[in-house]
Amino acid sequence: MNKKKTITEERIFLLCLLTALIVFFTQLREIPQSGRTYPMVLLIVGIALCIYIIIFKAGKNDTNTVQKRQTVDCIILSGMVLLYIVMQNSAGYIISSLVFLYAALFFLGLKNNKLLFFLYPICITLFIYLLFNKVLHVLLPEGFLSAIAL
Phi, psi for 112 (deg, rounded to 5): -70, -35
Left (φ > 0), alpha (ψ -120 to 50) or beta: where does 4 sit? beta
pLDDT for residue 65: 58
pLDDT for residue 149: 54
Low-confidence ranges of the chain (pLDDT < 70): 1-7, 58-66, 144-150
Query: CA distances (Å), 46 to each of 51, 97, 106, 107, 108, in order?
Result: 9, 26, 31, 29, 28
Residues in contact with 71: Cβ distance below 8 Å, sequence separation at least 6, in sequence order:
7, 12
Q: Is 64 exposed, middle or buried (0-12, 13-18, 19+ CB in 10 A)?
A: exposed
pLDDT for residue 2: 42
pLDDT for residue 16: 86
Kindly report the number of other CB atoms within 10 A of residue 96's CB atom.
Answer: 21
pLDDT for residue 57: 73
Distance in angstroms (rounded) separating the CA atoms of residues 71 and 82: 17
pLDDT for residue 77: 87
Distance in angstroms (rounded) separating the CA atoms of residues 109 and 125: 20
pLDDT > 90 in the chain, percent? 11
